[in-house]
């Protein structure tokens, strides 16, 4: 039912935006609702349909977490009465402490200039 295609970032600070791209296949005649969870904490999730037919889920990382945590990240599909229809765990989010930088910033992509040697 839920296939997680990608998510980013995979590490960062408390309160930052995370985006999850999913494909959802369901044959129920009733609507479903999607949300992102960090550990067992459900987050307020903005859901948008993309041109590709997939879905973009956006939320902020929880504000009440220990900076030493690696948190499992999952997506849940819910019915109208908030019954969990499916839960898919797909990765971890590493919470950076004070003074830490995301790994991507430590090794930025190389830049080359045309004509330079």
For 57-93, the pLDDT digits (tens) are 999 988 776 656 688 999 999 988 999 999 999 999 9
Domain count, the chain: 1
pTM assigned to the model = 0.78
Q: Give the C-alpha separation, 2 to 108, whole Å.
A: 33
Cα-based torsion angle of the residue sequence 100, 101, 103, 104 in order, rounded to the nearest 10 degrees: 180
Q: Is residue 87 in some structural domain?
A: yes
Q: Is residue 48 in some structural domain?
A: yes
Q: Is residue 113 in some structural domain?
A: no
Q: Is residue 115 in some structural domain?
A: no
Q: Is residue 15 in some structural domain?
A: yes
Query: What domain range includes position 27?
Result: 2-100
Q: Mark residue 51 as left, alpha or beta (left: phi above 0; alpha: psi -120 to 50; beta: remaining).
A: alpha
Q: Is residue 36 in some structural domain?
A: yes
CB 95 within 8 A of CB 13: yes
Give the CATH number for residue 64.
2.60.40.10
Tokens of 26: 């369901």
């Amino acid at each position: 039912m839920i296939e997680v295609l990608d998510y980013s970032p995979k590490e960062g600070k408390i309160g930052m935006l995370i985006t999850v791209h999913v494909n959802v296949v369901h044959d129920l005649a009733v609507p479903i609702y999607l949300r992102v969870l960090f550990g067992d904490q459900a987050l307020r999730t903005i859901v948008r349909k993309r041109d590709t037919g997939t879905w973009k889920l956006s939320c902020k990382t929880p504000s009440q977490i220990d900076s030493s945590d690696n948190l499992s990240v999952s997506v849940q599909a819910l019915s109208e009465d908030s019954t969990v229809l499916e839960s898919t765990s797909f990765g971890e989010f590493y919470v950076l402490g004070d003074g830490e930088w995301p790994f991507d910033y430590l090794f930025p992509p190389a830049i080359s200039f045309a004509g330079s040697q």
